[in-house]
Structure 1
Amino acid sequence: MTDTVRTHVTGGVATVTLNRPAKKNALTTTMYAALADALQAAELDADVRAVVLRGDETVFCAGNDVADFLDHPQAGPEAPAYRFLRAIARFPKPVVAAVCGPAVGIGATMLLHCDLVYAGESATLLFPFVDLGLVPEAGSSLLLPELVGRHRAAEALLLGDPIPAAAALDAGLVNQVLPDAEVLDLAHAQAARLAAKPVASVIETKRLMRAGDQDAVLARIEAEGAVFARLLDGPEARSALTSFLRRDRSGPAAGPTAGAASAGRPGPR
């Protein structure tokens, strides 16, 4: 396990922490591998009955680390990014997310696979794939329209409009919005409630809720990945990613949402 992804187990709850706040928790190849390993370990550990997925109180996840992504393209089914996406899409136990600050690209799409999402007042979800010359990933082109409806999904995925915490609550993307300092405590409390329930009943209920959807989600992840890889080689995506990388290296961005976008591009492939 890398220090940029930390896992702590107590009381039947595994807390998986994105721990790279200086880089706005932008994901690297190593972090994807660590996240996949953490979920696999939590699935196999009978003492773990629920997972809390968290970032920092100032930022959940700014997407991919652009420099690392360009140096290590995520291609093929065994690439760390694919391993993580499959792991979270298939994960049988409840996952509770604690989200404060920006959740950009993969930082936003991974939340679609969580069972409960608690957001701080500072939380903002952003899906900037089209602006980067790419397409959505993590099955989000299927899951987001299912959750919020096609028109709202179009605002998020085609226009790339940011979704503040209150709007995310109204759209059904999060369960509750509360002060940032209270988010993690509530997420842990809810995970502890789940861990105290009959484990077989919890797992089977989650399986039944997702029955019929999982195969479609996994298939959509693969379909998105194929298009993503093709567009990534195109001039529009390369230009956009290079521009973001240049901006990130030139100095800090002006605000939290801009900072998240400049620190990391969305989604793996």
Structure 2
Amino acid sequence: MTEPAVLHTTAGHVLSLTLNRPETLNALTPDQRDEIVRLLSEASASPEVRAVVLTGTGRGFCAGADLRGTAATTTGERVPGDVARTLRTGAQRLIAAVLDCEKPVIAAVNGTAAGLGAHLAWACDLVLAAESARFIEVFVRRGLVPDGGGAYLLPRLVGPRRAKELMFFGDAFTATDAERMGLVNRVVPDGDLDKTARAWAERLAAGPTRALALTKQLVNASLDADRATAFAAEAAAQEINMTTADAQEGVRSFVERRNPAYRGR
């Protein structure tokens, strides 16, 4: 029986999503994109999920969009707007699903992350990379404009000048280079990647889930907001958060001088 192209399991309040097409370095198909979007949407609403780990099988994290079978259509007659519509409902929808997920998402980059695959990692809240991992802004090599939110995400992470260098030349760079540029939180030995990602996810899953969701929302929105807007959003988020059981438990545990026991509510 053929294995699913996206493996998913939930244990200890951690949802593990694994791209499972190792023969293509986990190049993404439309069906895989839709499945990941669905699972992340369900994770946002599920009290059983309090953190998410995204990784791949084999030598690749994700080699980008699977372009096989599309070459012929790019030279034929197209209806104006077809490409833009495909991006909005495909790659951009996928990246938005990661950014908008109400649970923290960790990328455990086990191998090559190229094109959309690199942008999938950049969209995650935390990025762990195996020592053997490498990243490539591959679009220029194919004569393409970066898509899947790349020109939005990368300048915000490394600045416009560095982003242009990576996107103009399309050179591969190592996990260590990515860490130095601030694209990766930590580089770990290949054999420790799964264990480290699990440990980080379990810490997040034991945390105050709504506070983390609101913190993620605040940080992401701050990149496009002025100070007054950011301060107003912060005050509103804290007002909302103080109604949660976890916030009340956090304050109570501080007064009682004990470790908090958060329940994600």
| Alignment TM class, shorter chain as reference | 0.7 to 0.9
Q: Which residue of 111, 125, 134 maps to 1:124?
A: 134
Which consecutive unaligned segments of at least 5 residues does structure 2 have? 74-81, 226-265
> Counterpart of 2:98?
88
Spell out, residue by residue over 1:10-50, the C-alpha distance to the aligned partner (whole angstroms, 9 max, x if none): 11110010001012111111111111111111112121111
Instruction: Give 1:85's aligned amino acid.
Output: I
Partner of 1:11: 12
> Is 1:167 the counterpart of 2:177 in the alignment?
yes
Q: TM-score, normalised by structure 2?
A: 0.75
Would the alpha carbon gap of residues 54 and 84 (structure 1) be closer, same or farther in structure 2, given more than 3 Å must change? Answer: same
Q: CA deviation at 1:197?
A: 0.6
Query: Partners in 2 of 1:211 and 1:171 — Cα distance?
Result: 22
Query: d(CA) in 2 for partners of 1:103 and 1:208?
Result: 27
Aligned-pair CA distance for 1:209: 1.2
Query: C-alpha displacement at 1:71, in angstroms?
Result: 7.4
CA–CA distance in structure 2, aligned partners of residues 112 and 134 of structure 1 = 19
Mark the CA change 1:63 to 1:121 in structure 2 (over 3 Å): closer, same or farther: same
Q: Secondary structure at the match of 1:158?
A: helix
Q: Provide the C-alpha distance between the structure 2 equivalents of 1:74 and 1:18, rounded to a whole number of angstroms.
A: 25
Which residue number corresponds to residue 49 of structure 1? 50
CA distance in 2, matches of 1:86, 1:157: 21
Query: How many residues are aligned here?
Result: 214
- Once superposed, what is the RMSD of the aligned Cα atoms? 2.1
SS across alignment from 1:134: coil
Looking at structure 1, the residues matched to 175 and 33 of structure 2 have their Cα atoms a distance apart, in angstroms, of: 26
**Match of residue 136, structure 1, among 138, 146, 164:** 146
Counterparts of 2:10 and 2:72, CA distance in 1: 33
Relative to structure 1, the CA distance from residue 173 to residue 84 in structure 2 (aligned partners, 3 Å threshold; closer, same or farther) is same
Residue identity in the other structure for 1:195: A
Of residues 50, 70, 76, the one that matches 2:85 is: 76
Pick closer, same or farther for the CA change 1:214–1:46 going to 2, 3 Å: farther
- Residue 191 (str. 1) matches residue 192 (str. 2): no
In 2, the alpha carbon distance for the partners of 1:210 and 1:124 equals: 25
Aligned equivalents of 1:146, 1:67: Cα separation in 2: 31
Listed one character per residue, the Cα deviations across residues 61-115 of structure 1 (whole Å, up to 9, x for unaligned) are: 1112121445788652773434323212322210001112210101101111111
What residue identity is the alignment partner of 1:18? L
Equivalent in the alignment of 1:58 = 59
Gaps of 5+ in 1: 216-269
Change (3 A) 1:165 1:42: same
- Partners of 2:160 and 2:96 in 1: CA distance: 24
- CA distance in 2: counterparts of 1:57 and 1:162, whole angstroms: 19
Aligned 8 A contact 2:95 2:119 in 1 = no
Paired residue secondary structure (1:67)? coil
Identity score, percent? 41
Q: Structure 1's 74 and 192: CA in aligned 2 closer, same or farther, altered over 3 A?
A: farther
CA distance in 2, matches of 1:30, 1:74: 18
After superposition, where does 1:179-258 map in structure 2 within 5 Å?
Answer: 179-213=189-223
Matched with 2:118 is 108
> Does 2:24 match 1:31?
no
Distance 1:74 1:151 in 2: 28
Q: Distance in 1 between matches of 2:128 and 2:89?
A: 29
**In structure 2, distance between residues paired with 1:102 and 1:81:** 18
How far has the Cα of 1:57 moved from its partner? Answer: 4.7
**Contact (CA 8 Å) 1:36, 1:80: kept in 2 or not?**
no
- Residue 6 of structure 1 aligns to a residue whose secondary structure is strand
- CA–CA distance in structure 2, aligned partners of residues 112 and 203 of structure 1: 18
Instruction: Tell me how far apart the structure 2 counterparts of residues 206 and 175 of structure 1 sit (CA, whole Å).
Output: 16
The answer to whether the Cα contact below 8 Å between 2:26 and 2:63 also exists between their aligned partners in 1 is yes
The amino acid across from 2:66 in the alignment is D
Summarize the Cα distance change of 1:90–1:79 in structure 2 as closer, same or farther, 3 Å threshold: same
Inter-partner Cα distance in structure 2 for 1:71 and 1:36? 27
